[in-house]
């Protein structure tokens, strides 16, 4: 089974936000050396926690510093932009790293509506045009000329479009257009994933580029040398998720601070529920859960996202999982 990475450039208490962008770049190089298949970066706006706002820019830097790993967006929030401009940006990326570029697209705002309107004054209705934008992207990236316009630079290879989603909508759209599909398991702790993937496979219409359905899920996981250490370093994300449920967003706190803040009874119930589903532990423990999940959904690839206040903890987690799944063996 292949493993890939989604990195969200998470802000940390005690460190400036710009460092999170540089850490994403360094992590991409590290994960390529470990044997991971893809490295995807996300797009969020006006959010104090996730500070990666321009995946296409970060992808260019990653592509320039790597040679094998696929580099992609997870994703570009397409309703903010003109599809032609996105096609041009990703054709440039493809020229920089031929055969290595993934264009993951979503229709969510990646932030609040006020910010969405600042990005696109027509944001209230922009999502309605998402299917047409995807259709135009397919044509422009393939070198065709819808509306009599071509997206340059042309070349022998093209970026691979992925439709991202956390509901049936994205699954049905990806199936209709014959495109790969990625379900954001970590958004919902898997709620709705089985139905979405089943619909995708059942409704799939083969395309020239993708004669068979291709699906993956993005799942949160953290491995450490001991189970106790892994659980400790998972506490900042637990604290963040509890705060997020109350509309409070901020940088990730250190584990000691996360542990020091007591939970209410209702919050404790929420945390216990998260821990029951969490993929946190030693490499063998996390590996067993990841394999079971992949088997249950008939997947041959998983995309792993990991948060930790200490960048070295994240790196160690990816190292342990790479060894557990013998990722470097085929390099």
For 100, the token pair is 């290595």
pLDDT of residue 109: 79
Query: Which stretch of DSSP H or E encloses residue 106?
Result: strand 101-106
pLDDT-derived band at 331 (thresholds 50, 70, 90) equals: low
Q: Work out the mean pLDDT of the chain and round it to a whole number.
A: 96
In a domain, 273, yes or no: no
In a domain, 159, yes or no: yes
In a domain, 254, yes or no: no
Q: Is 235 a residue whose pLDDT tops 70?
A: yes
Q: Tell which wins on pLDDT, 247 or 220.
A: 220
Q: Which domain holds residue 297?
A: 2-226+281-330
For 5, the token pair is 């990475």
pLDDT-derived band at 260 (thresholds 50, 70, 90) equals: very high
In a domain, 215, yes or no: yes
Residue 3 contacts residue 322 (beta carbons within 8 Å): yes
Domain count of the fold of the chain: 1
Name every residue whose Cβ is closer than 8 Å to that of residue 313 and which is 6 or more positions away in sequence: 222, 224, 233
pLDDT-derived band at 236 (thresholds 50, 70, 90) equals: very high
State the CATH number of the domain containing residue 25: 3.20.20.30
Distance (Å, whole) CA 198 – CA 312:
37
In a domain, 124, yes or no: yes
In a domain, 231, yes or no: no
pLDDT of residue 330: 57
In a domain, 248, yes or no: no
The pTM of this model reads: 0.96
Percent of the chain with pLDDT over 70: 99
> For the segment 296-323, what is each residue's pLDDT rounded down to a tens digit?
999 999 999 999 999 999 999 999 999 9
Q: Is 110 a residue whose pLDDT tops 90?
A: no
Give the pLDDT mean for 180-204. Answer: 96
Give the pLDDT mean for 93-103. Answer: 98
CA torsion, points 249, 278, 44, 315, in degrees to nearest 10?
A: 110
Give the pLDDT mean for 258-275. Answer: 94
Percent of the chain with pLDDT over 90: 93
> For the segment 38-96, what is each residue's pLDDT rounded down to a tens digit?
999 999 999 999 999 999 999 999 999 999 999 999 999 999 999 999 999 999 999 99
> For the segment 154-163, what is each residue's pLDDT rounded down to a tens digit?
999 999 999 9
Name every residue whose Cβ is closer than 8 Å to that of residue 126 and which is 6 or more positions away in sequence: 79, 80, 116, 120
Q: Is 124 a residue whose pLDDT tops 90?
A: no
């Amino acid at each position: 089974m292949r493993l890939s990475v989604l990195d969200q450039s998470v802000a940390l208490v005690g460190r400036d936000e710009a460092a999170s962008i540089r850490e994403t770049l360094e992590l991409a190089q590290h994960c390529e050396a470990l044997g991971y298949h893809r490295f995807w970066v996300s797009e969020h706006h006006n959010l104090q926690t996730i500070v990666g706002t321009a995946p296409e820019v970060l992808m260019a830097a990653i592509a320039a510093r790597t040679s094998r790993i696929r580099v992609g967006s997870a994703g570009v929030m397409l309703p903010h932009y003109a599809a032609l401009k996105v096609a041009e940006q990703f054709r440039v990326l493809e020229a920089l790293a031929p055969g290595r570029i993934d264009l993951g697209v979503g229709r969510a705002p990646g932030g609040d509506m006020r910010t969405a309107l600042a990005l696109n004054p027509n944001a209230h209705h922009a999502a309605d045009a998402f299917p047409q934008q995807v259709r135009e992207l397919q044509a422009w990236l393939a070198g065709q000329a819808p509306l009599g316009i071509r997206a340059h630079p042309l070349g022998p290879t093209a970026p691979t479009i992925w439709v991202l989603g956390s509901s049936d909508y994205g699954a049905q759209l990806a199936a209709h257009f014959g495109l790969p599909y990625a379900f954001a398991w970590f958004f919902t702790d898997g709620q709705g994933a089985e139905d979405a993937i089943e619909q995708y496979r059942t409704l799939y219409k083969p395309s020239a580029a993708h004669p068979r359905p291709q699906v993956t899920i993005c799942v949160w996981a953290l491995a450490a040398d001991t189970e106790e250490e892994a659980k400790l370093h998972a506490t900042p994300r637990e604290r963040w998720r509890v705060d997020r449920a109350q509309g409070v967003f901020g940088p990730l706190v250190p584990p000691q601070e996360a542990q020091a803040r007591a939970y209410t009874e209702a919050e404790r119930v929420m945390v216990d529920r998260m821990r029951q589903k969490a993929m946190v532990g030693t490499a063998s423990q996390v590996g067993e859960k990841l394999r079971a999940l992949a088997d249950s959904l008939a997947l041959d690839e998983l995309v792993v996202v990991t948060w930790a206040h200490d960048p070295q903890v994240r790196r160690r987690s990816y190292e342990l999982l790479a060894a557990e799944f013998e990722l470097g063996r085929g390099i």
